[in-house]
Every structure is written in C-alpha cells, then in structure tokens.
C-alpha cells in the first residue's frame, strides 16, 4: 500500500470525477499527483420509448450511486481508510439533449438524448437564422422543435439543462454549466465566454409571438470556464452520492462539463492546432482552431474547450455499437461449445485479426448506423453488412470492415477541415473504447484519417479522469490564488512526462482505406434504401 496515497485520501488531497457516458457511468479518484488511485463503474443503456432515445433520471442516480460505492469500497479495501472527503468533485456527461424542468423542479418531458434525430426542421431554421450551424442534437434545436410542435410543456419551462448540468444542480443547488458543455446547448461567443448575445436575441424574436413567460437567457444555466468556482456539495447532494452518509458536505465542485471537453482535457488537447478523436458509442474529432472557419458547414459543429477556445468538431452518432453487437454474437457462439470466453480477451483477439485482413477489406462493406447520421444526411439508420459473391469473406476481412465502418463517416467530415479549410494537424490523440486493444484501433484510425495518432497510457481512464483533472485544476488555482491557464496546467503538471505512443499512417493501409471509402460512399444509397424499406 502506498502511504502517500493513503495520506492524500485522509487529508482530502484528491479529486473525484464522475462521467455519465452512453453505456457506462464511471467514477475515478485521483491523488495529488493526478494519477487514478480508485474507480467504480455501472453499465447502463438508453431505451427507445415512444420513438425517443432516453434514460430515466432514476437510472441516473442508481448508476451514480453504484459507481461511487464501487470506488469507495476500493478505497477502503486498498488503502484501509473510508472516503470521507476529497479536495474537489467534477461531473461530466454526454453533451446536448433536452432536460426541461418547471419552477417546482418537476421534469416536464422525457430526457431526449443526443442520439435523437427528430429536430431536423428546427436545426435547419435556426442555422439559417443565426448563420451558424446548429446540429440536431443541440439543446436549443430540441427546444425550438418542441415549440414548432406546439408541445404544451414548453410554456412551463423554468430551467433547461444537460445531463451534467442536471446532476451538478442536484449536488450543489447551482444552475451552471462549463463553457464546453454550454457550447452544445447554444452558440458561444468566445470573446465574451458566454452565450452569443446576438443569436440569443434572434431566438427570442423567433418565438415572440408565442408569448412565453420566459426569455431564453432566463432558463439556461449560467456559463463558467475551467477553474471557476461552481458551488459546493450540499448535505442533500452528499446523500445522493453516498446514501451511506460517510462523504461529507462542503466539497467544492468545478463547472460540469460535456464528454467532448473532458476528452480534450484527458488527452492534453486544449491548445491551438491540437486535436483528439474520441471513439466509443459515438465518434468525434475535436480540433482547436487558430482562426474561424471560412463558412458554415452542416457537418461541422463549433464548440469550445473547457477554457472557451473555439473548436471544430466532427461528430458522428454511431461508432462501436454495431461492432459490439457482433462481438456479443461471437460470445454466444462460444457458449454453445461450453467455452469460458472472456469478453475482453475476445475483443483483443478479434481486433488483432483485423490487422491480418486485406488493406481494402477484400470487397466487404458495412454500415454501423443505429440512428440517423447528419454527416451523411440520413434521418434513420439500419445496421447492415453487404458483399459481392466474389468478395473475400474471411474473419480478418470481416473484422477489418467492421472497424473501418466505425471511422468512415468521421473521415467524410474531417475531409472538410483538411481539404476545404486547409486545417493542418501534426497528430491526433486517441481515446475511448476503440483504442483499448493496443495498437489496432490506433493503426487503423491513422490510416483512415491519414494523420499520426497517439494514445497515452492514461487515455483508457477517459472522461471521468478528465473531469477529475478539471476539479484538481480548480482546486490548484484556488489554493495558489493563481491565474494559471488550463493549457499550462495540463502541459507542465499532468502530461510533462507522457507524450503517448504515436503510430504513423501506413501507406498500404491508407491506400486500402481509400478504396474502402470509394465503395462506402457509393454504397450509401443501399443504407438509405434500407432505412426507407425496413420498418
């Protein structure tokens, strides 16, 4: 047992990060050296209820409490002390979506997650009105669509927030958001580090005839940047995290952030000309820009770092869901023969097989779309696999095809930045489930995007570690009464000795992916027809 870590825990020189991802809720505790020392997790899934992808708020708290309990039990087991206090807490979650509440705190409509593609009309109208791309999953698009649909609850909205903002509110009583998460709610003015005032006024003008008792600025959370005080854990909040009552109230919380911002933090990708690619249930690339884009692209979101710098984001709704479904099928197959196959080992073995496949996948084709995909203009998705009679249908080609399909839509969006906007990247930092099997997802992603991809040893901890770092950053600035930037903190304090393992694009793989993309782009008509026909 490391006595230094034990003293950090006793003295509260730790930081706790909680992230609610699409399929897993995770809690991570880091010590005074910013290294993870304990963790806990809880698996969960969204549900399609009345054609809406949603999670219940009861499941939110069940998952958070299970994750925290697992972490606290590990602290007690490994270090022999209870977890009673930490130096700071941060909450992160999947961005965007729609969580409206009334003045009495009652939830007014089911939580509409980022995965829903029901707001095309609203997103299009707002994009035209603002001269700024408003993606379908953004909170303001959901709000405006509810208004266009004459949904009765809209008039009663007193507070509209994201999942991270909701959890933070219940833990502290504060209705705030980190600027990165807020940038997926409504456009941000990076010069003011706040919601864009002109666009806010334009929105109010669009809905003036509805005579709502609220203005948009009055129902959205306040915007905070990384390092700012975002309240403290209330007695009620402490009970929500730890119903057993060991965790004390009064712990400071950093601004709640979205998974994009914590991904940037966890990969040290907050400086200009840096970028990261997060590949899990969804896949997105984030590029910190030196200058604004020359025009509006519906395929490119403009968001911010947790410090407020402008970021171009290519977001694709689906990444590993279809691949995961195939792995589950192989697990079932193994069970028929009585084999005790470990899930992690099967992933590693199947990923490794992909490296044995032909560079262009041998003529195989796969679409991983579970829902709509705005980048390719599809309102609905149907997972499908296709091949010609003479395609080389082997396990290595099959696995390589599944992996390439997780990256193909991202490549289409990235081409806009690299070819039309001449954005130059030295490398991308990869994180998320796709990169867990060492060397495979990294090698193929480097080929798919034709850019070096680095993965850090710490990347596997993901967004929960990222938000724990943001909590530690807030505490450090407070204790030292300093104005140290987030970029400096990460570069000098957290990542000074971790540059990551970098993989360069292999010329043969790059050529093979190019052939695959020609087939993939032409075959989008098949996917479109499947969505129209299969119901």
Arithmetic mean of pLDDT, 460-472: 88
In the chain, % of residues over pLDDT 70:
99
315 against 100, higher pLDDT: 100
pLDDT tens digits, residue range 93-140? 999 999 999 999 999 999 999 888 899 999 999 999 999 999 999 999
pLDDT value, residue 387: 96
Task: Give Cβ neighbours of residue 439 (< 8 Å, ≥ 6 apart).
Answer: 503
Give the separation between CA 431 and CA 216, rounded to whole angstroms: 35
Edge-to-edge order in the sheet of strand 283-288: 301-304, 310-316, 283-288, 275-279, 428-431, 453-455, 501-503
In the chain, % of residues over pLDDT 90:
79
pLDDT value, residue 3: 78
pLDDT tens digits, residue range 437-446? 989 999 999 9
**161: which strand partners?**
99
pLDDT tens digits, residue range 341-387? 889 999 999 999 999 999 999 999 999 999 889 889 898 899 999 99
254 against 294, higher pLDDT: 254
pLDDT value, residue 299: 87
pLDDT value, residue 369: 95
Task: For CA atoms 60, 62, 436, 39, give the dihedral sign.
Answer: positive
Arithmetic mean of pLDDT, 58-87: 97
Burial of 299 (0-12, 13-18, 19+ CB in 10 A): buried
pLDDT value, residue 461: 63
Give the separation between CA 520 and CA 385, rounded to whole angstroms: 11
Reference 369, options 357, 358, 379, 359; nearest CA is: 379
Over the chain, what is the mean pLDDT?
94
Cα torsion for 456, 462, 467, 468, to the nearest 10°?
Answer: -70
> Judging by DSSP bridges, how do beta strands 275-279 and 283-288 pair with one another?
antiparallel
- In the chain, CATH 3.30.420.40 sits at 3-266+462-494, 316-455+514-533
pLDDT value, residue 326: 97
pLDDT value, residue 271: 87
Q: What is the CA radius of gyration of the chain?
A: 23
Residue 396 clears pLDDT 90, i.e. is over it: yes
| Fold type of domain 316-455+514-533 | Nucleotidyltransferase; domain 5 (3.30.420)
Residue 462 clears pLDDT 80, i.e. is over it: no
pLDDT tens digits, residue range 191-249? 999 999 999 999 999 999 999 999 999 999 999 999 999 999 999 999 999 999 999 99
DSSP assignment letter at 105: S
pLDDT value, residue 374: 83
Ranking 349-363, 401-415, 423-437 by mean pLDDT, the lowest is 423-437
Pure H helices in 242-291: 259-266
pLDDT value, residue 327: 95
Q: Provide the pLDDT confidence category of residue 459 given band limits of 50, 70 and 90.
A: low
Residue 460 clears pLDDT 60, i.e. is over it: no
Residue 160 clears pLDDT 90, i.e. is over it: yes
pLDDT value, residue 92: 98
Q: Provide the pLDDT confidence category of residue 307 given band limits of 50, 70 and 90.
A: very high
Contact between residue 56 and residue 219 where contact means Cβ atoms under 8 Å apart: no
Arithmetic mean of pLDDT, 160-171: 98
Give the separation between CA 177 and CA 185, rounded to whole angstroms: 10
3-266+462-494 under CATH 3.80.10.10, yes or no: no
């Amino acid at each position: 047992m490391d006595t230094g870590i034990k003293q950090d825990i006793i003295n509260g020189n730790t930081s706790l990060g909680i992230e609610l991802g699409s399929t897993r809720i995770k809690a991570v505790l880091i010590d005074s050296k910013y290294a993870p020392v304990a963790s806990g997790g809880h698996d969960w899934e969204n549900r399609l209820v009345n054609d809406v992808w949603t999670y219940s708020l009861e499941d939110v708290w069940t998952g958070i409490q299970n994750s925290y309990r697992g972490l606290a039990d590990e602290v007690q087991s490994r270090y022999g002390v209870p977890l009673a206090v930490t130096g700071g807490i941060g909450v992160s979650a999947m961005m965007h979506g729609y969580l409206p509440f009334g003045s009495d705190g009652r939830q007014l409509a089911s939580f509409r997650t980022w995965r829903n593609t029901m707001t095309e009309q609203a997103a299009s109208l707002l994009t035209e009105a603002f001269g700024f791309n408003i993606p379908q999953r953004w909170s303001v698009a959901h709000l405006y669509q509810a208004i266009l649909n004459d949904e009765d609850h809209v008039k009663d909205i007193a507070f509209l927030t994201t999942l991270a903002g909701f959890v933070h509110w219940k833990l502290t009583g504060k209705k705030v958001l980190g600027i990165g998460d807020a940038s997926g709610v409504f456009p941000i003015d990076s010069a003011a580090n706040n919601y864009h005032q002109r666009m806010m006024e334009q929105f109010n003008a669009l809905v003036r005839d509805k005579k709502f008792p609220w203005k948009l600025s009055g129902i959205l959370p306040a915007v905070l940047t990384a390092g700012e005080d975002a309240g403290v854990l209330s007695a009620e909040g402490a009970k929500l995290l730890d119903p057993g009552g060991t965790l004390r109230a009064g712990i400071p919380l950093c601004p709640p952030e979205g998974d994009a911002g914590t991904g940037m933090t966890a990969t040290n990708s907050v400086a200009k000309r840096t970028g990261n690619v997060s590949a899990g249930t969804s896949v997105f690339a984030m590029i910190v820009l030196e200058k604004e884009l020359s025009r509006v692209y519906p395929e490119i979101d403009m968001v911010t770092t947790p410090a407020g710098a402008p970021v171009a984001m290519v977001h694709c709704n689906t990444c590993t869901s279809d691949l995961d479904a195939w792995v589950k099928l192989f697990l079932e197959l193994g069970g028929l023969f009585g084999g005790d196959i470990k899930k992690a080992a099967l992933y590693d073995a199947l990923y490794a097989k992909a490296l044995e496949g032909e560079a262009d996948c041998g003529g195989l084709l796969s679409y991983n779309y579970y829902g709509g995909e705005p980048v390719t203009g599809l309102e609905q998705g149907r997972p499908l696999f296709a091949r010609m009679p003479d395609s080389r249908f082997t396990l290595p080609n099959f696995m390589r095809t599944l992996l390439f399909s997780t990256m193909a839509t991202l490549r289409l969006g990235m081409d806009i930045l690299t070819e039309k906007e001449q954005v130059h990247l030295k490398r991308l930092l990869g994180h998320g489930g796709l990169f867990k099997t060492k060397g495979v997802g990294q090698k193929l992603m480097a080929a798919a995007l034709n850019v070096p991809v680095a993965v850090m040893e710490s990347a596997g901890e993901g967004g929960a570690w990222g938000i724990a770092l943001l909590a530690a950053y807030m505490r450090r600035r407070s204790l030292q009464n300093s104005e140290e930037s987030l970029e400096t903190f990460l570069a000098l304090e957290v990542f000074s000795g971790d540059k990551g393992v970098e993989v360069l694009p292999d010329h043969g793989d790059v050529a093979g992916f190019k052939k695959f993309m020609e087939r993939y782009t032409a075959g989008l008509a098949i996917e479109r027809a499947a969505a129209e026909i299969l119901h």
